């Protein structure tokens, strides 16, 4: 179950909390260093409503935070490098890949690794900033448009899933990137909201769990209605569907992107009722999810992905004791990156998604070594839409 998986992320962090860290350096590209620029802040007074593009819309690129050993100790990056290599390989088929690396030493190591793997390095650039972890979906910038179609960066607050994990380096990433890219920043630090806690249908509806957002460890001074106002303003929606979720069940307090995702404005991808129960979703939340209505009051249609058939077993034979979700996939311009688990249902899940995305290549990526630390593909990717102006 997701609860046990995510708790492993926390236990690793606690055990390695005393590891040394490295100071920040300037952001760099493939060859030349980029100039650090002054920060431009955008309107965050609720006077302007922004639009968050649907994940399936065309990207300029995808952001990744590359694993390193400075938080978890020696050997962590060696386990995860192959996953990041395969994500980069697939994504460069159709878009740029922007990689955040811990320091110059890591930049050089990763660049050499990608070259050795025959990956198109011309589609890759690097930004050197220290990070605590790899979960860019939760701590990284959220790219939105304003009413003039200008591209901006929304910088929501991030506090390590309710101060359960180290977060201070990661929380600085959006502001650093705003300066480096000269993209205006919308400072919304007064609201803690991880990217994995919200899903959108691209037509005015947001799906989320109260346990991960309306929670004293995130937003103790805000009511649900006040949080909704922020979501509606800065994500550009008018319909928020709340599941209760389960506070304290895992380090994320039950992120929605582990088990539900919009296929389009009228269809939700999730699991069948029995698999949702096994994932830890309550009967009440299952009913809310399967009876959800869009911004116009129309019921959604549903497509079901399986859980893995068996508990996830690592290459060394360790049984993690829980199954894997395929709902945490990521949609690129030319590819769909799908978490796989060396399981009988990998082929079934990949085939369902290939039928749904016939014009993209479905790439199954063995995420078992990432999954043991608490996440899958969607958790470690973040899309940057095209700049329309």
Q: How far apart are CA 310 and CA 342, in angstroms?
A: 10
Q: How far is CA 19 from the centre of its chain?
A: 25
Is residue 283 domain-resident?
A: no
Per-residue pLDDT of the chain (389 residues; tens, 9 = 90+): 443 444 445 444 444 333 333 333 333 343 333 334 445 566 655 567 899 999 999 999 999 999 999 999 999 999 999 999 999 999 999 999 999 999 999 999 999 999 999 999 999 999 999 999 999 999 999 999 999 999 999 999 999 999 999 999 999 999 999 999 999 999 999 999 999 999 999 999 999 999 999 999 999 999 999 999 999 999 999 999 999 999 988 889 999 999 999 999 999 999 999 999 999 999 999 999 999 999 999 999 999 999 999 999 999 999 999 999 999 999 999 999 999 999 999 999 999 999 999 999 999 999 999 999 989 999 999 999 999 99
Is residue 228 in a domain? Answer: no
Report the run of H or E that residue 337 belongs to, with start and end.
strand 335-340
Q: Looking at residue 24, what is its pLDDT? A: 35
- pTM for this one? 0.91
Examine residue 274 and state whether it is found in any structural domain, yes or no: no
Note whether residue 377 is domain-resident: yes
Exposed, middle or buried: residue 382 (CB in 10 Å: 0-12, 13-18, 19+)?
Answer: buried
Please give the tally of structural domains in the chain. 1
Distance (Å, whole) CA 337 – CA 377: 7
What range defines the domain where residue 112 resides?
2-192+307-385
Q: Does a structural domain hold residue 298?
A: no
Q: Is residue 155 part of a domain?
A: yes
Residue 35 included in any domain = yes
CATH assignment of the domain containing 340:
3.75.10.10
Residue 205 within a domain: no
For residue 43, the model assigns a pLDDT of 61
- Quote the pLDDT of residue 47: 65
């Amino acid at each position: 179950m997701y609860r046990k998986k995510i708790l492993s992320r926390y236990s690793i962090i606690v055990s390695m909390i005393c590891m040394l860290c490295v100071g920040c350096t300037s952001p760099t590209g493939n060859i030349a260093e980029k100039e650090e620029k002054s920060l431009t802040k955008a309107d965050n007074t609720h006077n302007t409503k922004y639009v968050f593009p649907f994940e399936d819309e065309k990207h300029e690129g995808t952001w990744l935070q590359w694993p390193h050993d400075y938080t978890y100790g020696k050997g962590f990056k060696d386990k995860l490098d192959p996953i990041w290599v395969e994500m980069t390989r697939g994504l460069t088929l159709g878009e740029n890949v922007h990689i955040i690396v811990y320091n110059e030493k890591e930049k050089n190591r990763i660049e050499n690794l990608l070259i050795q793997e025959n990956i198109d390095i011309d589609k890759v650039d690097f930004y050197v900033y220290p990070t605590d972890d790899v979960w860019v979906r939760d701590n990284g910038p959220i790219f939105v448009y304003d009413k003039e179609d200008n591209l901006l960066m929304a910088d929501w607050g991030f506090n390590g899933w309710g101060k359960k994990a180290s977060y201070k380096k990661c929380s600085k990433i959006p502001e650093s990137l705003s300066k480096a890219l000269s993209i205006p920043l919308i400072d919304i630090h007064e609201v803690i909201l991880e990217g994995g806690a919200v899903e959108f249908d691209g037509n005015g509806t947001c799906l989320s769990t109260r346990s991960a957002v309306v929670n004293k460890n995130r937003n103790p001074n805000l009511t649900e209605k006040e949080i909704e106002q922020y979501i509606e303003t800065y994500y550009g929606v008018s319909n928020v569907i709340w599941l209760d979720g389960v506070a304290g069940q895992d380090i994320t307090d039950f992120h929605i992107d582990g088990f539900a995702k919009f296929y389009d404005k009228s269809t939700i991808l999730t699991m069948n009722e029995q698999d949702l129960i096994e994932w830890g979703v309550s009967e009440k939340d299952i009913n809310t999810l399967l009876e959800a209505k869009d911004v116009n009051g129309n019921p959604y249609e549903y497509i079901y992905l399986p859980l893995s058939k068996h508990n996830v077993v690592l290459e060394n034979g360790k049984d993690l004791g829980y199954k894997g979700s395929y709902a945490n996939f990521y949609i690129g311009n030319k590819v769909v990156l799908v978490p796989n688990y060396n399981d009988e249902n990998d082929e079934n899940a990949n085939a369902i998604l290939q039928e749904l995305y016939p014009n993209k290549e479905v790439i199954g990526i063995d995420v078992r070594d990432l999954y043991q630390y608490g996440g899958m593909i969607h958790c470690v990717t973040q899309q940057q839409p095209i700049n329309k102006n």
